Structure 1
């Protein structure tokens, strides 16, 4: 079969099985199998695949149909114009989180922030992006998972920012020195426990530790908001990604603390509330 014929058959298989974005996934899989860019597929779409390439391609198609995320097959995800290695040990970075990163970059440039703490770093996507786009920044990236931190370190090295980031294995603030940061940022687990089993199959394949926000999805917000004042400089910023329906709840937790001012939220590209920013007073 040719490249074009194989992609078409793969796309039909994905679409028939209710997989979202079947055209895109069929093409990206072919790029991975051939280790070629998109332009190659367009120019050489009549090229005949070897039997091994064909078999490997349709094995991967079956994996996607079974619920394995595309990124767990290709081990690659683009985020903030950089490539990140991902596997089953980390949450796959999503474009929604770029809203949070861009806001933290803007805040940091406005207040000349250099010391930034990233809690629940996972693949390191947030920490690495901040290190890349904020000049002379010093990032501390924390995660409870040793395997996640190994991946984050690899991603930092691959994106040439390993010297700007200190990685710490810790349950939130537990193993941190009581240092003071200009900004604390986090995309914590925020899915309600009972909702996880209702998520798409591919999302359920991601690490439960990166999804489970407790009974009401707010466990990590409570812990971080309650402890962050000890680690923030005066007038420092606390920045969160949130679930689409959590704005009022998270703002309520912030208000109850009575230490934060100028709280605001921003929406993602789909019009959902996605980030909350607040300032220590």
Structure 2
């Protein structure tokens, strides 16, 4: 990769980078170029348009060139910048956690809708990763507390940083361990999870950017359903009276989740579609509690 001229304006470097990224098969080449340049300049993207003819300083050009090199190697933009926006908040991310995705905001919205009238809800976020789900919920529910669980110690370091970043360290308890194990004996008003759900044999065929993310956060076992089985088998014993479970699912997994639910202590209350019309979030209540207001 070469950026030959010694002086580039913002407009020129964005146009060059868009073409370069396109040639490398990068999705959204213009957007990625703008996000990376905004990161280097410590400015928002609007600044780039207002100052289209502004020359870049030599140190800015050098730093941007390194970002472009990484992105062309299909490293996710969020790992390059160290940040990702989710639910209107900025989160620290690293290669130790899954990059928060827009469709997961639907999961947060579904939980908020059901908890907003409760006085002091208790939440558990299983497989918390960056903590984006738990932190987003707590920012909107000032009386709530949450337990965030992850098997990865490195992921919990990032989650702790995000809790502190948003002033929630006193309301978010971080626990390391294998799924339910750290929550032994605890009851929750809301059980929330975006678990690994990619079938093991499909992981190698994912986009290069996705394959850079932690395999622990992607691999859902042979059929992609391992963690849903654990959620539906063991979750009932952690459900407070009137509580519910909300989970994100993968494409074409809704029918399998329906079958699992029929054999579990849970009953599906609602399945929500994402903006692409895909069944994405499943809300369940304890069997026999279907009519409880949430």
Structure 2 counterpart of 1:195 = 202
Match of 1:248 among 249, 252, 255: 255
Structure 1 counterpart of 2:274 = 268
Structure 2 counterpart of 1:147 = 154
Secondary structure at the residue paired with 2:56? coil
Secondary structure at the residue paired with 1:206? coil
| Residues 147-186 of structure 1 aligned to structure 2 (within 5 Å) | 147-186=154-193
Structure 2 CA distance for aligned equivalents of residues 78 and 86 of structure 1: 10
Match of 2:52 among 18, 38, 45: 45
CA displacement at 1:40 relative to structure 2: 2.1
Secondary structure at the residue paired with 1:197? helix
Match of 1:36 among 33, 43, 55: 43
Moved over 3 A (4+): 110-113
Gaps in structure 2 of 5+ consecutive residues: 1-7, 290-294
Q: CA offsets per residue over residues 139-189 of structure 1, 9 Å max, x none?
A: 111000111001001001111111111111111111223111111000000
Structure 2 counterpart of 1:278 = 284
Match of 1:86 among 63, 87, 93: 93
Would you say 1:220 and 2:227 are equivalent positions? yes
Structure 2 CA distance for aligned equivalents of residues 111 and 163 of structure 1: 20
> Is the CA contact 1:141–1:166 (under 8 Å) kept in the aligned structure 2?
yes
Structure 2 CA distance for aligned equivalents of residues 65 and 124 of structure 1: 28
Structure 1 counterpart of 2:81 = 74
Aligned residues: 280
Structure 2 CA distance for aligned equivalents of residues 3 and 189 of structure 1: 40
Q: CA offsets per residue over residues 4-55 of structure 1, 9 Å max, x none?
A: 1011111110112221111100000100111112232122221111223222
Gaps in structure 1 of 5+ consecutive residues: none
> Is the CA contact 1:251–1:263 (under 8 Å) kept in the aligned structure 2?
no
Secondary structure at the residue paired with 2:201? helix
Secondary structure at the residue paired with 2:74? coil
CA displacement at 1:111 relative to structure 2: 4.9
Structure 2 CA distance for aligned equivalents of residues 110 and 164 of structure 1: 18
Structure 2 counterpart of 1:132 = 139
Q: If the length of structure 2 is used for normalisation, what is the TM-score?
A: 0.92
